[in-house]
Amino acid sequence: MRIQPPSSLHHARLLGVTMLWLLGGSSLLLSTLVPLHTAMLGWTPAFWLLGAPLIMLLALEPTLPRQLLAQRRTRRRSRRDPIWH
């Protein structure tokens, strides 16, 4: 029995849902509607609003951190160019 790779549409949908989950969780934590740590729940809100979507994002796109670092490096190099010519 072969395991078929997910279709690109399914992958894009999962990636979109994960990004929305991360964006929504970040906005909830930044707007202080949900505290980062509570006495009763501990760090559970922070994990489910930030940690879990980050883990899902890294599972769906394992090369994403390298791509982001490569973009950052190219931006730094372009900033070091002299202003005058």
pLDDT value at position 32? 81
pTM exceeds 0.75, yes or no: no
Average pLDDT over residues 51-56: 93
* pLDDT per position as a tens digit, 37-46: 889 989 989 9
Residue ranges per structural domain of the chain: 11-79
- Contact assessment for residue 38 and residue 45, using Cβ atoms and an 8 Å cutoff: yes
* pLDDT per position as a tens digit, 59-83: 988 888 888 888 888 766 666 656 6
What is the secondary structure of 55-80 as a DSSP string?
A: HHHHHH-TTHHHHHHHHHHHHHHHHT
Residue 24: in which H helix or E strand, if any? Answer: helix 8-30
* pLDDT per position as a tens digit, 9-18: 888 888 899 9
